Structure 1
Amino acid sequence: MNSDKIIESAHAMADAARVAVLPYFRSANLNAEDKGVGGYDPVTEGDRAAERAMRDVLAQLRPQDGILGEEFANKPTESGLTWVLDPIDGTRSFIAGAPTWGVLIAVSDESGPIYGIIDQPYIGERFEGGLARAKMTGPHGTGALRVRGSRPLSQSMLFSTYPNLADDTDTEAFNEVSAQVQLTRFGIDCYAYALVASGQIDLVIESGLQAYDIQAPIAVIEAAGGVVTDWQGGKAHNGGRVVAAAGPEQHAAALEILSKY
């Protein structure tokens, strides 16, 4: 495995996705179709264009690798590596014109994600982690990624995409953690995971996730020194119930509550 080539390919995919998706953002002619999965579940031509662009890059640079994407059929791996792609994580935010969506790119082996990118094309921020990297680039230049570190729940900031999680039980568990933290905020999709990795917030708690929702955030946060598991403390790379933490103290305190549900 050539780490440099993997990283180069990932950035080429992120660059291609930026070019493909930005013309659709805040476009007066943007149309959204409802996939009808779990309530209003929109998809746009921007989603499809971004994933097609990334798949085209892989076809040229890494044709032996597999692909697990949100919008198109899976491609089996011949190399042992699979690219896990979410072309627009936060399509609801995308169609509303809010710049909190992102392009998620991860590459995984049999053990889970080994490298990932969270890219926000409109703001121009890119967060990457894994294969001995943990850094971000954006309007302020390039810098290292590092989580905040341990602190008690009473001093922690908690984010999630929706106030109501996948079901009533999950929402009850989330609310029990939320009642103990300093601040709770909602609605910024994958960007919340980037905030954990960059040392801004402490926790993200979600449920009902797919592999393509979480594998890139796992790679980025773990490279920055954070922790991502399921609610029982196990691996989270297949999705489901997920807790991402900026330090072991927040993680353990959240798990003490979440693992009861």
Structure 2
Amino acid sequence: MTDRRLIEDSLPLAEISVQSAREKYIRKGHISTLHLWWARRPLAACRAAVYAALVDAPVDDEERQRHHELLKKIVDWDLLDPSHPDHGLLKVAQANIARSHAARVARRHGSHDGADRPRVLDPFSGGGAIPLEAQRLGCETYANDLNPVAHVIELGSIYTLNVSRKMSFVREAAISCRTSTRPRNLDSRLKSSVGPSGYKGASIPRSACSTRPARKTARFSVTFGCGRCIVRIRPVAS
């Protein structure tokens, strides 16, 4: 028995294209506003592709029409709002995917002992549209990218944000950064790290109009050695 999917049969391309084009003008809540990334894929098209790739091909026109009507609705951006009257259709799409997945596992192995959810792997996921929509449709999702910027965007798009934990982490990091960068014995630390040959210490006398004590400053420069002799040269700004 062939393992044909809905994506190999037919799709309501006109409605999917309209919703995909509409996303270009959506700013609030869209992952494209998280960070600029090249060749972002429309979420509506990815949602339709993931659903159609994981659902079995229809056996008759009635089932085909039912899948098409569902796809026309779930690709709508407004449906993602939990207050939308058709928001529950995402649960219907998840149930259809889970049912098709269970049937495939049973056909291949004789029983449904595998994972309850299909696993989706996108090794070059770019801005993260496909793994995000696979998660939205209830799949166990794995994603990566060779570009570290893309990978960071994926982490921000896919992982659930625990706001209270993140804010406490930011506060702790700020305190740690402020403490670690506070000048403590800067003069002696520069002497030990740079060495006496590249270091000059100079005291700034107290100003006549200031009551603050004299400050200690340090300046050092990097020298480069000539490859043919022992002369060391300091770089000069042009």
| TM-score when normalising by structure 2 | 0.30
Higher strand fraction (1 or 2): 1
Identify the structure with bigger relative contact order (alpha carbons < 8 Å, sequence gap 6+).
1
Between Structure 1 and Structure 2, whose CA radius of gyration is higher? 2
Q: TM-score, normalised by structure 1?
A: 0.28
Give the helix-richer structure, 1 or 2: 2
